């Protein structure tokens, strides 16, 4: 891929929006590890199972790639502030990058936002409001987006919602995941990339990234992209199964933070990829997601949030259905770190034996 001598996502600046070097904000995002499974792959019968650890980004999620480009673009355009909404990770990321750039950040969040994610946002001094019913009601979500659009026009604020529908410029940062994967595999694409899907921006960005790869690299191929949703909020996967071009309507009953997105902002773009035969959809019960979160930690040392662990639940389903086989090169995008949802970490800890307090002499005897 086309690269400069810069680090992180900005090494691919030729394939990103044109932003002057002085306005390129960075906290060290990108260059995240690609780690091969040492135990789970073998246990499932997969010879080439990998994790793309987006949890290693500065604020713990892939959203840092978006924030870096989005806040940089806001500076380039002379915006007075940023405004947006979040289920948690995007808010924490944009708040950090806005703080770094000196831009105020106005944020509307889910009523049920996880406390750990809210604390991350608040510590960066964002101006936050919880919205009653947001994250459950599609109607409330529509009103939130209308308000944000109105305020951005009125005040010369940059809309930073992590969806191509609202900010296609900032979302170009996601493409760099695909560039890195292609380089990680020595100039080849994996067979399948399993991607957690809420609003669909992560999936769409990775798809656009591989479109760039195919365009710029001779003999490069487009991998199968797998859209993974919670069964309680699977508007996109349901539509794909029905052969529809747009997500089916319906509220969310999912308990997976980050995937409770009944307003699938980029759902149409996800379905364009799937309906073109470039991947498929998987919907996963929340119980399977939680089980895999614990298994990833105990068997491969990957402590991620449930919205990331859902990809491994989907890998298991796809293997059983014959969509992948033992020699498929499979990548799970680990989109966020485990500390994003400390309630779930505590739930896992509660299933373990209590840590004993002992005298050191009793161990030496």
**Residue 112 structural domain:** 63-169
Q: How confident is the model at residue 320 (pLDDT cuts 50, 70, 90)?
A: very high
More confident: 316 or 120:
316
pLDDT at 1 over 70: no
Give the per-residue pLDDT at 166: 86
Local structure of 53: helix, strand or coil: strand
Q: Tell whether 113 is covered by a domain.
A: yes
Would you say residue 365 lies in a domain? no
Are 132 and 200 within one domain?
Answer: no
Residue 3 located in a structural domain: no
Can you tell me the mean pLDDT for 146-159? Answer: 95
Shared-domain flag, residues 230 and 182 = yes
CA 254 to chain CA centroid, Å, is 17
b/e burial code for range 33-52 (CB count within 10 A of at least 16 → b) = eebebeebbeebebebbbbb
- The answer to whether residues 133 and 118 belong to one domain is yes
Check residue 314 and give its pLDDT. 98
Residues 252 and 285 in one domain: yes
The domain total for the chain is: 2
C-alpha atoms less than 13 angstroms from C-alpha of 71 in its C-beta half-sphere = 26
pLDDT value, residue 92? 92
Residue 360 is assigned to a structural domain of this protein: no
Instruction: Dump pLDDT digits (tens) for 187-222.
Output: 999 999 999 999 999 999 999 999 999 999 999 999
* Residue 359 falls inside a structural domain: no
Query: Does residue 82 register a pLDDT over 80?
Result: yes
Query: Is residue 210 located within the same domain as residue 300?
Result: yes
Same domain, yes or no, for 33 and 102?
Answer: no
Q: Are residues 122 and 74 in the same domain?
A: yes
Domain-located, residue 176: yes
Residue 225 covered by a domain: yes
Q: What is the pLDDT of residues 236-284, one digit of tens each?
A: 999 999 999 999 998 888 988 878 787 788 999 999 999 999 999 999 9
Q: Does residue 264 sit in the same domain as residue 343? A: yes
| CATH code of the domain in which 251 resides | 3.40.50.1100
Whether residue 352 is predicted with pLDDT greater than 70 in this model: the reply is: yes
221 within a domain of the structure (yes/no): yes
């Amino acid at each position: 891929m086309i690269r400069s001598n810069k680090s992180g996502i900005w090494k691919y600046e030729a394939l990103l929006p044109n932003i002057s070097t002085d306005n390129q904000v960075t906290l060290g995002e990108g260059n995240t590890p690609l780690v091969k499974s040492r135990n789970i792959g073998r246990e499932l019968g997969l010879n080439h199972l990998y994790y793309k650890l987006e949890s290693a980004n500065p604020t713990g999620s892939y959203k840092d790639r978006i924030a870096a480009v989005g806040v940089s673009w806001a500076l380039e355009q002379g915006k007075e502030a940023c405004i947006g909404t979040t289920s948690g990770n995007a808010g924490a990321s944009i708040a950090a990058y806005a703080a770094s750039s000196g831009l105020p950040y106005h944020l509307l969040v889910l009523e049920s936002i996880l406390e750990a994610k809210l604390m991350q946002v608040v510590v960066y001094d964002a101006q936050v409001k919880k919205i009653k019913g947001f994250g459950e009601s599609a109607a409330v979500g529509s009103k939130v987006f209308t308000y944000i659009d109105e305020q951005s026009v009125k005040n010369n604020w940059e809309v930073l919602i992590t969806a191509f529908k609202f900010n296609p410029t900032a979302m170009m940062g996601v493409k760099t995941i695909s560039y890195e994967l292609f380089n990680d595999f020595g100039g080849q694409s994996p067979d399948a990339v399993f991607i957690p899907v809420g609003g669909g921006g992560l999936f769409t960005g990775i798809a656009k990234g591989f479109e760039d790869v195919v365009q710029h690299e001779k003999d490069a191929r487009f991998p199968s992209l797998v859209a993974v949703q919670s069964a309680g909020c699977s508007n996109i996967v349901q539509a794909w199964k029905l052969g529809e071009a747009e997500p089916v309507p319906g509220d969310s009953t999912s308990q997976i933070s980050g995937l409770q997105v009944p307003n699938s902002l980029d759902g149409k773009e996800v379905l364009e990829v799937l309906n073109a035969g470039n991947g498929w959809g998987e919907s996963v019960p929340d119980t399977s997601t939680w089980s895999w979160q614990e298994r990833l930690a105990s068997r491969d040392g990957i402590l991620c949030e449930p919205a990331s662990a859902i990809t491994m639940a989907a890998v298991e389903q796809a293997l059983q259905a014959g969509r992948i086989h033992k020699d498929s090169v499979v990548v799970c995008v680990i989109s966020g770190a485990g500390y994003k949802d400390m309630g779930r970490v505590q739930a896992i800890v509660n299933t373990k034996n209590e840590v004993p307090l002992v005298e050191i002499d009793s161990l030496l005897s």
